[in-house]
Amino acid sequence: MDKNKNQFTQYLKAVGTGPKHNYDMTKEQITDCFEMILSGEVSPEQIGAFLIAWRLKPETNDEFKAVVELFNTKTTKQTVQNSCEIGYPYDGKRNNPYMFVSIAKMLLSFGINIVVTGDELQPSKNGVTVKDIATNIVLPSNLYYFDRTKIFKSLSSLTSLRNNLGIRTGLNTIERLSNPANSSVGITGVFHKPFMEKYKAMFENQYDKLVIIKGNEGTSEIYSKTLFWVIQNGKAVEQKIDPSRYGITYQKSWDNITLDESLEMINNPTKEFLHIVRLNSALVLFIMNKANSINEAYEKLI
């Protein structure tokens, strides 16, 4: 154990010795570093120090990509045909209900399966999580929920440590998409446009088609006019989507939403909420090649 702790020190030095001496790690180094973290070979103090210092260094796209590749090999897979994974932040949503249950219901007749993953709350937003929803509601037959405690236990086991840190780390970025169902399409969201390139670098090799949406609360959910990017064969095509073009005037909430309130809005949706779900479902229908455009997909969902 002491030998492993000493070996891990080299990675702490890579990220925690200051701007003049920090350095970007090679694929082999960052992979070995996270192998040690996931195996429990190093102390919680060392793991916490590394995660904080790595973020401050900061992380590179190549480092992120290498860790995503490693995590992919550690995740237990169960293939779901004709599936689209929607990747959400693990720190939850605070201001609006999740759409993934309603999207799945709306796409059921089209043979599209929706995949989501979840775990206990991670820092630092303190929102309602995917797991909160998926384990407290009846899921439609085409919605597949994968619990990280079962498919990637070694990463899930870091939950307590991460909550003790109380701040975001690189893991918040990496964990958004894990592709447990070998889905051909992955959809996730970003807060800021510059992060699109980071997500592209991390996830584009995990899917035939990757979609990144500048969505609500950093999710892939569209509640207002926004940008999205379709990434395929190494190219990213930027597009805009505006709910008002479809006569949708959904008013986003800015008040913290409780789990009970979120479940109520999903189980008994208003017409206004179903209209915005229809547009989000149309985007998935289009991305899954069931329509030639979002407009055509939207009309198919009448």
Residues 232-276: pLDDT tens digits? 999 999 999 999 999 998 876 667 889 999 999 999 999 999 999
Q: 271-287 and 100-107 are packed helices; what angle lies between their axes, rounded to 10 degrees?
A: 70
Distances (CA, A) of 197 to 29, 84, 230: 23, 21, 12
> Which tens digit of pLDDT belongs to each residue from 69-107?
999 999 999 999 999 999 999 999 998 899 999 999 999
Q: What is the pTM of this model?
A: 0.95
Burial (0-12, 13-18, 19+ Cβ within 10 Å), 140: middle
CB 213 within 8 A of CB 228: yes
Taking the C-alpha atoms of residue 241 and residue 244, their distance in angstroms, rounded to an integer, is: 9
Confidence of residue 1 (pLDDT cuts 50, 70, 90): very low
Domain boundaries, the chain: 2-58, 83-300
Is residue 222 pLDDT above 70, yes or no? yes
Amino acid letter, 81 = Q
For 138-157, what is each residue's pLDDT tens digit?
A: 999 999 999 999 999 999 99
Q: Is the pLDDT of residue 8 over 70?
A: yes
Average pLDDT, the chain: 95
145 DSSP β-pair partners:
116
Indicate the burial class of 98 (C-beta count within 10 angstroms; 0-12, 13-18, 19 or more). Answer: buried
Fold of 83-300: Pyrimidine Nucleoside Phosphorylase; Chain A, domain 2 (3.40.1030)
Residues ≥6 apart with Cβ < 8 Å to 265: 97, 257, 273
pLDDT in tens, 176-209: 999 999 999 999 999 888 889 999 999 999 999 9
